[in-house]
Amino acid sequence: MDGEDVLSDSASGLKGGASGLIRLREEIVRCRQCPRLVRWRERVAREKKAAYSNEIYWGRPVPGWGDAQAKVVVVGLAPGAHGANRTGRMFTGDESGKWLYRALWKAGWASQKESTGAQDGLELRGVWITAAVKCAPPDNRPSPKERDRCSNFFDREIRELKEAKVYLALGGFGFEAVTKFFGLKPRPKFGHGLEVQLSEGRWLVGCYHVSQQNTFTGRLTEKMLDEIMAKVGVRAGLSPRRR
């Protein structure tokens, strides 16, 4: 798949002195450890969705992106088949991304309210966006073995984000990945709005995923998401910025 330009710092939005994250990103995009995920992500990139038939899909693992000095780390499940797997940037190019970036923009942490592609000029302030699994899985369901193989990348990424104060987990899968990284025992059960103290000054906050399954049915409303962002901002000490 031809998409090497997505690796550039300007395209990814990576900023804040992040040599370790840059090296990690280069490893992630070249990973082929999970045969089922490789076959799926590349099949989707070949067959495409009708609406994007003229586009070149990324079709590779998708690294996290944003501010390397982030106070808030947003953790999702995996790239969307026709979203991040197409654009090469997490939560970009689909309905889930529209909800997430609009909320970040309203909070003052994103320079634009929508992200359409890796070259759209969007910048994040104090926020890093990633997922527990880096490849788009069939039916949005990575297997336990695929999750465990990818945990090496996720764990290294979290360790590199040394300034993080709040981990905002979108859905139970991301929530579990964070609790596993921090070795919480017993592991708390995911809940929307749940706040878990991980260590002194560090918090895990649960939020329903911004998937269409939740947003189209009203399980997650825009008001609910805005309230979560406000709660996260307080915990992270990340003040709103006037647009």
CA distances for 37 relative to 40, 82, 84, 189, angstroms: 5, 14, 14, 28
Structure token digits, residue 64: 């996290």
Q: In this predicted structure, what is the pLDDT of residue 33?
A: 98
Reported as a single tens digit per residue, the pLDDT across 20-77 is: 999 999 999 999 999 999 999 999 999 999 999 999 999 999 999 999 999 999 999 9
pLDDT at 18: 78
Q: Per CATH, the architecture of 4-236 is what? A: 3-Layer(aba) Sandwich (3.40)
Q: Which ranges of the chain have pLDDT less than 70?
A: 1-17, 240-243
Nearest to 85 by CA among 60, 66, 104, 67: 60
Q: What is the pLDDT of residue 239?
A: 76
pLDDT of 7: 43
Pick the closest to residue 6 from 89, 81, 84, 66 (CA basis): 89
Say which residue the tokens 């399980």 belong to. 219
